[in-house]
Structure 1
Amino acid sequence: MRSVLVGGVGMIPFTKPGAGDPYDVMGERAARAALDDAGIGYDQVQQAYVGYVYGDSTSGQAALYGLGQTGIPVVNVNNNCSTGSSALWLARQAVASGAAECVLALGFEQMTPGALRALWEDRPTPFARSMSVMHGLQGESQAPLAPQMFGGAGAEYAARYGTKPETFAKISVKARRHAARNPYAVFRTEVTEEEVLASPHIYGPLTRLQCCPPTCGAAAAVLCSPEFAARYRISEPVAIRAQAMTTDTPTTFDDSATMMTVVGYDMTRAAAHQVYEAAGVDPGDIGVVELHDCFTANELITYEALGLTPEGTAEKFVVDGDNTYGGRVVTNPSGGLLSKGHPLGATGLAQCAELVWQLRGRAEARQVDGVRLALQHNLGLGGACVVTLYEPVS
């Protein structure tokens, strides 16, 4: 397996539903931005992997045909909220295996207002196992499914370690503070801890300002071999040093299951371990992380699943400011899903774009000083988790 470089990235500003372009226009814009960043044309791309969750089949082709009809394979990907990074994972495999020299990964989502909901009521839900475990652990609720799951995990963690509601709220405050520096973010107005706690209660420790918003947007990355990068004089490539994708194991659903395992804690821990082992690095070596903060509760437990802080210490990690500028590791400098927004298919590639900019030293007001290793974590219930480690090309 050969080295894989990110030769270019692109994204468009995220918007609230109904405030932006349709999916095919968003996708074309993001893909064109990534190609321009790499300094190549679409005719150099040999394969494309396109991710989205809500859309008709072959929507990927509809977005890319605006760049040209070159006849290359276009594969459409749907892995819930980890869709964008699943497309990235497939693109990396294609280059690493030698099947292609240059591959495009694209993700987009055109969402509607309100909580996520099932579109197909005439067939089994893929969440049946998770819902069965959840109902057995915490009963049934009228709250939307995702807040029930992640809010339940947050409540479980808080009961175990005595975590205060204010600690969860501090994560939202931090997300908005970071997003205020990001021109791509949908929510750029800062909030106070008091405002977060006073917003309507949703489930467990979660209030409305601790839940990511439905968002429209698109992002893309050009992946290539080192030889391709040299041939086309790609000037600022970033290397994918290691990457892993995991799915659920019996611990998600068996008698030992907890709400934390239901929402992917064990998937995250396993993927992170594989990445650290493959790269020969320690979590303490990481300077910046884009992690899947769909809810404040998930950011809190993910600190520990990724090994950024020992189990049971996430509250201290937050209170001490070790999750932001001046602390141990800057988490979600983009504002994360909570404030940058969460267009499901685009999220993983937006995380990639942010970390590439950070490693190039081009994140402007969001720049983390002296960063040499950047970690990405993207999670989809049902389930899939992708963890990716990036480093500059020396």
Structure 2
Amino acid sequence: MPKPIVAGVGMIKFAKPGASRTYNEMAAEAVRDALADAGIGYEAVQQVYAGYVYGDSTSGQRAVYDVGMTGVPVVNVNNNCSSGSTALWLARQAVESGAVDCALALGFEEMRPGALGTHFNDRPSPFQLFDEATDRIVGHGEVPLALRYFGGAGLSYMEKHGATLEDFAKIRAKASRHAVRNPLAVFSKEVSVEDVMHSPVVWPGVMHRLMACPPTCGAAAAIICSESYARKHGLDDGVRIVAQEMRTDFSSTFEGDDMMRVVGYDMTVQTANAVYESAGIGPRDVQVVELHDCFAQNELITYEGLGLCPEGGAQKFIDDGDNTYGGQVVTNPSGGLLSKGHPLGATGLAQCYELTRQLRGTAGPTQVDGARLALQHNLGLGGACVVTLYQAQ
């Protein structure tokens, strides 16, 4: 089956809550940039998938109406932090199935300062099972739940494999070195391991503030089209999606009292393995990865979940420099969520933006030499995991 083309990508620089434009303004700019990158007008788009978390119903329509009002179907997508990649998954599926020739995947978020929280407290929370498991495994705490989820996962890894807080600090320091090269990163100042370890403690022995990604606002978009459409209209067909899978939670998520499972480790393993099998490759074939580093702790466990290193091998992987330029695979050349920011609905498509440019060879200062295969990992608790494999032609 012909594989869908990523014909155009667009992304705006993310901003801190309170310092951004409105969601529709940010989204419209990202869409216009993606259309311009593809060299087509909005009238060519046959379906739109709009991912966001904090917004009212039909915010996707409001976002694209500033670009055009063509009567095109608009589907609003909320899959927590994987909303953007879920929009991409739907656009890819529509094109690959032959339902349409050209689709737009859009992600945006206008966030508020502070920790994430629920808004509908008069009904069962989608995180009820996760909260119950977290309370059972790590106990009640004063820190926000997201920190308890992923801090608990890091603590689980430390107890299993002897990792230390410095290992997580090394990941954050690496992210900052990459972000220095990225003009779109919110935090582009380089920090050292010592800087991370001297940042405020949010959970003693488990988490420092600089190990957590900042909430941000922003938007990103991608134009997905068929090979025949790209040829007919003379579009750039240099990057295509060769495999993509989505998984939700397994019963194992809440079994075994393991916080790594609670935050989606098993979803990551199963989704990544399905992608490798579908594409007929292994993780060692990939040159560049954008993975979901909402916390440095999650980046470390995801190295193993994606098969980039063996179980229990993340510390050696980090110390050998195999997660950066000159090593086995460059992880998060953009600076990742830790430096670039994490506007929930936009994150998956921001990853697509970076990897598409990497495979085109147009990533500028963040370019990974010889990048031909790129892997994207986007995770949302609740839960959903999307893993996408891109290939340069």
Q: How does 1:238-277 map onto structure 2 within 5 Å?
A: 238-254=239-255, 256-277=256-277
Number of aligned pairs?
392
Q: What corresponds to 1:165 in structure 2?
A: 165
Q: How does 1:86-101 map onto structure 2 within 5 Å?
A: 86-101=86-101
Code of the aligned partner of 1:274: A
1:19 is paired with a residue whose SS is: coil
Q: What corresponds to 1:57 in structure 2?
A: 57
Q: Give the CA deviation at 1:236.
A: 4.7
Code of the aligned partner of 2:212: C
Q: What corresponds to 1:348 in structure 2?
A: 348
Q: Give the CA deviation at 1:232.
A: 1.2
Residues 218-252 of structure 1: CA distance to partner in whole angstroms, max 9, x if unpaired? 00000000011011111253110100000001001
Q: What corresponds to 2:210 in structure 1?
A: 209
CA distance in 2, matches of 1:92, 1:136: 39
The yes-or-no answer on 1:302 pairing with 2:302 is yes
Code of the aligned partner of 1:319: D
Q: What corresponds to 2:13 in structure 1?
A: 13
CA distance in 1, matches of 2:230, 2:18: 38
TM-score (norm 1): 0.98
Q: How does 1:4-83 map onto structure 2 within 5 Å?
A: 4-83=4-83
Q: Give the CA deviation at 1:29.
A: 0.3
1:182 is paired with a residue whose SS is: coil
Code of the aligned partner of 2:103: V
Q: How does 1:344-383 map onto structure 2 within 5 Å?
A: 344-383=344-383
Q: What corresponds to 1:196 in structure 2?
A: 196
CA distance in 2, matches of 1:344, 1:252: 22
CA distance in 2, matches of 1:323, 1:338: 15
Deviation larger for 229-238 or 176-185: 229-238
CA distance in 2, matches of 1:85, 1:263: 18
Structure 1 outlier segments of 4+, above 4 Å: none
CA distance in 2, matches of 1:205, 1:142: 14
Structure 2 residues not aligned, in runs of 5+: none
CA distance in 1, matches of 2:259, 2:228: 46
Contact kept, 8 Å, 1:39 with 1:234, in 2: the verdict is: yes
TM-score (norm 2): 0.98
Contact kept, 8 Å, 1:153 with 1:259, in 2: the verdict is: yes
CA distance in 2, matches of 1:346, 1:112: 15
CA distance in 1, matches of 2:229, 2:236: 12
Contact kept, 8 Å, 2:84 with 2:348, in 1: the verdict is: yes
CA distance in 2, matches of 1:207, 1:236: 43
CA distance in 2, matches of 1:343, 1:20: 11
Q: What corresponds to 2:326 in structure 1?
A: 326
Q: What corresponds to 1:124 in structure 2?
A: 124
CA distance in 1, matches of 2:4, 2:31: 19
Deviation larger for 33-42 or 227-236: 227-236
CA distance in 1, matches of 2:357, 2:373: 12
Q: Give the CA deviation at 1:292.
A: 0.1
Structure 1 residues not aligned, in runs of 5+: none
Contact kept, 8 Å, 2:227 with 2:237, in 1: the verdict is: no
CA distance in 2, matches of 1:68, 1:307: 43
Residues 263-317 of structure 1: CA distance to partner in whole angstroms, max 9, x if unpaired? 0000000000000000000100010000000000000000000000000010111
CA distance in 1, matches of 2:237, 2:12: 20
Q: Give the CA deviation at 1:117.
A: 1.2
CA distance in 2, matches of 1:88, 1:273: 19
Q: Give the CA deviation at 1:63.
A: 0.8
Contact kept, 8 Å, 1:2 with 1:97, in 2: the verdict is: no
Code of the aligned partner of 1:387: V
Q: CA RMSD in A?
A: 0.9
CA distance in 2, matches of 1:183, 1:111: 21
The yes-or-no answer on 1:232 pairing with 2:239 is no
Code of the aligned partner of 1:17: P
Code of the aligned partner of 2:146: A
Q: Give the CA deviation at 1:257.
A: 4.1
Q: What corresponds to 2:219 in structure 1?
A: 218
CA distance in 2, matches of 1:118, 1:283: 36
CA distance in 2, matches of 1:58, 1:137: 38
2:49 is paired with a residue whose SS is: strand
Q: Give the CA deviation at 1:206.
A: 1.6
CA distance in 1, matches of 2:68, 2:248: 35
2:376 is paired with a residue whose SS is: strand
CA distance in 1, matches of 2:43, 2:298: 40
Code of the aligned partner of 2:121: E
CA distance in 1, matches of 2:35, 2:215: 27
Q: Give the CA deviation at 1:19.
A: 1.3
CA distance in 1, matches of 2:73, 2:333: 34
CA distance in 1, matches of 2:38, 2:207: 41
